[in-house]
Amino acid sequence: MGENVRKLGPGRLVIASHNDGKVIEINELLSPFGIEAVSAKNLGLDDPEETGITFAENAILKAEAAAGASGLPALADDSGLSVTALGCAPGIYSARWAGNPRNFENAMKKVEIALEDAGTEDYSAKFVCALALAWPNGETSVFEGEVRGTLVFPPRGENGFGYDPIFVAAGYDITFGEMDPAEKHFISHRAEAFRKLMKACLQ
Catalytic residues: 78
Residue 190 and residue 26 in contact, taking contact as beta carbons nearer than 8 Å: yes
